[in-house]
Amino acid sequence: MQVAETSRSRNWSDSRAGTITGVTINHEIMPFFSCQGLDFLIEIEGETVSVYGSQALKFLERPWNRHRSMKASSIQFSFVAFNELAPYLGRLKQTFPNLTNYEFFETDINALGQLNALSMVQGISSLVIGEGNPVV
């Protein structure tokens, strides 16, 4: 994938997903605060991690700024298929240990049984299932 840094650019290949072009990662040298592609965005702003698009899921496990990832207490998923997201839920606490608030918008949650995947997540204090989920 193509990586653009604040002061310089370099090529970065993701061995799991192959080489991706058209991706911009905004960060201070490394680790990063946000990552944006043509059809996805993932960023930490304040205490919220925002994930837009299924392609953003592979960036959840990248090395994020430790101070910012510790500060994050909420995560919002938008335009991510819940079935694609489910395998990542159990590993979120490794990267963002203080997450307690989870929000799902346009994630195609269409059966209550899908919510069983949240049993892998410990410490949920609030759960929002918003528009774009037929189960609502």
Domain annotation covers residue 1: no
Q: What is the pLDDT of residue 107?
A: 96
**Alpha-carbon span 34 to 116, nearest angstrom:** 29
Q: How many independent structural domains does the chain possess?
A: 1
Alpha-helical segments (H) within the chain: 66-71, 82-89, 92-95
User: Given a cut of 90, is residue 36 above it in pLDDT?
Assistant: no
In a domain, 100, yes or no: yes
- Between residues 9 and 67, which one has the greater pLDDT? 67
Query: Residue 87, SS3?
Result: helix
Closest among 101, 108, 97, 99 to 130, alpha carbons compared:
108
The CATH number for 68's domain is 3.40.50
In a domain, 79, yes or no: yes
- Asked if the structure places residue 24 within a domain, the reply is no
Average pLDDT, the chain: 79
Q: Quick check: is 20 in a domain?
A: no
Secondary structure E strands in the chain: 2-4, 9-11, 24-27, 32-36, 41-45, 48-52, 74-78, 101-105, 126-129
- The range of the structural domain enclosing residue 106 comes to 38-129
The predicted structure's pLDDT at residue 28: 42
Q: Distance between CA atoms of 35 and 109, rounded to whole angstroms?
A: 25
* pLDDT digits 0-9 by tens, 102-112: 999 999 999 99
Output the pLDDT for position 18.
Answer: 37
Does 42 have pLDDT greater than 60? yes
- Of the chain, the percentage scoring pLDDT greater than 70 comes to 74
The answer to whether residue 22 is domain-embedded is no
- How far apart are the C-alpha atoms of 115 and 12, rounded to whole Å? 35
* Percent of the chain scoring above 90 in pLDDT: 55
In a domain, 108, yes or no: yes
CA nearest to 85, candidates 52, 39, 62, 113: 52
Q: What confidence tier does 26 reach under pLDDT thresholds 50, 70, 90?
A: very low
The pLDDT value given to residue 33: 65
- Asked whether the whole model's pTM tops 0.75, one would answer no
